[in-house]
Structures are given as C-alpha cells and as structure tokens.
Amino acid sequence: MIIYKYLDFSQEVELDISSEDIHLILDESDDLQQVLRNISSAGIYLKSIPDKMIEQMNPAQKETISTFLTGLIERLKSGKD
C-alpha cells in the first residue's frame, strides 16, 4: 500500500539582497503607505544599532554614513531628489 502525505515545514534561509535589488523592489511600489512603513522599519533598525558597534567603526566609515544620512535628511526637507 502506498500512502501520500503532504508535509508543511518551515526552514530558515539566508538571502543576500543587494541595494540594487531593494531599489527595484521599492521602485515598483507606488503605495505611499508601504513606503512609509519601509522608512519606519529602516529607522527602527538604525536606532537599534548598539553604541558598541558604532564605536567599532573607523572615522571614514562614520563619515560615509553621516554624509549619506545628512543628504537624505536634506532631500526629505526639500522634497527634491
């Protein structure tokens, strides 16, 4: 006798997604609420970075991140690209 049984299972997997992939995914979204949720998620992540991790960054890394975030702030304030 043969018995067929479907099994559902979950498995943790690691995905390597590039910034270009994220840009393509987000570029397809014209839903403002989804964009705002994504910004909120990014903000939560950034605020959760422990101080000890920031202390391990070298000055060039800190400057690169600071320049990027400052540029983003200016973009949001002006409403322009």
**What does the pLDDT look like over 12-63, one tens digit per residue?**
888 888 878 877 776 666 788 888 888 898 899 999 999 999 999 999 999 9
Model pTM score: 0.60
Query: Backbone dihedral region of 68: left (phi > 0), alpha (psi from -120 to 50 degrees) or beta?
Result: alpha
